[in-house]
Homo-oligomer: A and B are copies of this chain.
Amino acid sequence: MSCASDPRFPAALEWHGGPEGYVEMIDQTRLPLIESQLRIDGLDQMIDAIRRLAVRGAPAIGIAAAYGLVIGTREGIEAGATLREAFERSEAALRASRPTAVNLGWALDRMRSRMNRETSANLDALHAEALAIHREDRALCRAIGEAGATLIPEGGRMLTHCNAGALATGGIGTALALCYVARERGRHFEVFADETRPLLQGARLTAWELQRQNIPVTVLCDGAAASLMRDGGIDLVVTGADRITARGDVANKIGTYGLALLACAHGIPFYVAAPSSTFDLELVTGAEIPIEERAHEEILEPFGARIAPPGIGAYAPAFDVTPAELISGLITERGLLRNPEEASVRRHLA
């Protein structure tokens, strides 16, 4: 069974066929100039795709991990392991692939629950669960878009960072879902996309998918956001999230925290859009979130061109943490939670 997505939007990944099937994903490292599909039917391939960001975005890597677990468990069984042995081995490898986005662990936990729930666990059940995770994420994206679309005023100018769109999820995105729903409702507005160094997901991916939906988009260097805000060019900032703690602190792509401070300094509302699977209620403050360090080459050798002299080091965290105090509202599939704090976050998700 395929899990067909809305054909108007690019699908970050799709499962084709039954439990013996495979995943097709757009190789996001090659966008926007080359639209090439990867066919993934091995666990190592999936882990490699997650690590090198061929698939990225917290919700999308949750779905990729679930599909990876189907594939890895199948491989293990074919090699003679029991289903549980094969599951455990695949699960551990997938969990270690990227540390910060909690959706990855969340999807793996959910797959484990399904396995434990079945009287005679089998690959069909895991496959069905992975498809359900994907299908549900699609519905969550739409609900997020509907919860937040009215925040974008007619003629408004929204700034976003990184890519929290269709390419980052199983549906129409999180931050960009607001744009897509607002557009469906006939609203006119424009989007400014931080290019988002080092890997330029804003210039490459956000610009690409907004352009396909005929939403006007302008790219800027990350350092230019303050000047744009000061000139009155921005009405609101909306980003996605990789993990949100119980008090509403948000880990997201490096640069988000600075952007939130700049928005605050200019009196511009700053929103974060994410499904409830992005919340980690085990953690209270952002200081507890593990922050992935990426290879220095991602900064120092963009496009294979060395930009710094040999022997220079880099400061290369992939994410930063924005404290709840800087966040005007969290937008989830359950609605808009203004001025999040621990009690209201727990109530919102209860």
Q: Contact residues of A with B, CB < 8 Å?
A: 32-33, 161, 192, 194-198, 200, 203-204, 207-208, 211, 217-228, 230, 233, 254-255, 257-259, 261-262, 265, 299-300, 302-303, 305-309, 311-317, 320-321
Contacts and interface: CB of A to CB of B under 8 A. Distances in A.
25 contacts: A32-B308, A33-B306, A33-B309, A161-B223, A192-B315, A194-B223, A195-B197, A196-B223, A197-B221, A197-B223, A208-B308, A219-B315, A220-B299, A221-B222, A222-B223, A223-B223, A223-B258, A223-B259, A224-B320, A225-B258, A227-B258, A230-B257, A261-B261, A262-B262, A303-B305
A254 B299 contact: no
A219 B261 contact: no
A265 B265 CA distance: 9
A160 to B, nearest CB: 13
A221 B198 contact: yes
A278 B20 CA distance: 69
Nearest to A315: B220
A217 to B, nearest CB: 6
A219 B32 contact: no
Given A227-B257, A257-B227, A219 B299 contact: yes
Given A192-B315, A262-B258, A299-B221, A308 B204 contact: yes
A321 B230 CA distance: 10
A136 to B, nearest CB: 30
B300 A303 contact: no
A33 B144 CA distance: 47
Contact of A320 (B194, B226, B307, B309): B226
B221 A308 contact: no
A290 to B, nearest CB: 14
A317 B307 CA distance: 22
A308 B196 CA distance: 12
A313 to B, nearest CB: 5
A37 to B, nearest CB: 18
A232 to B, nearest CB: 12
A268 to B, nearest CB: 12
A217 B312 contact: yes
Given A203-B308, A228-B315, 13 more contacts: A195-B197, A197-B221, A208-B309, A218-B312, A219-B313, A219-B314, A219-B315, A221-B299, A223-B259, A224-B315, A227-B257, A258-B258, A305-B305
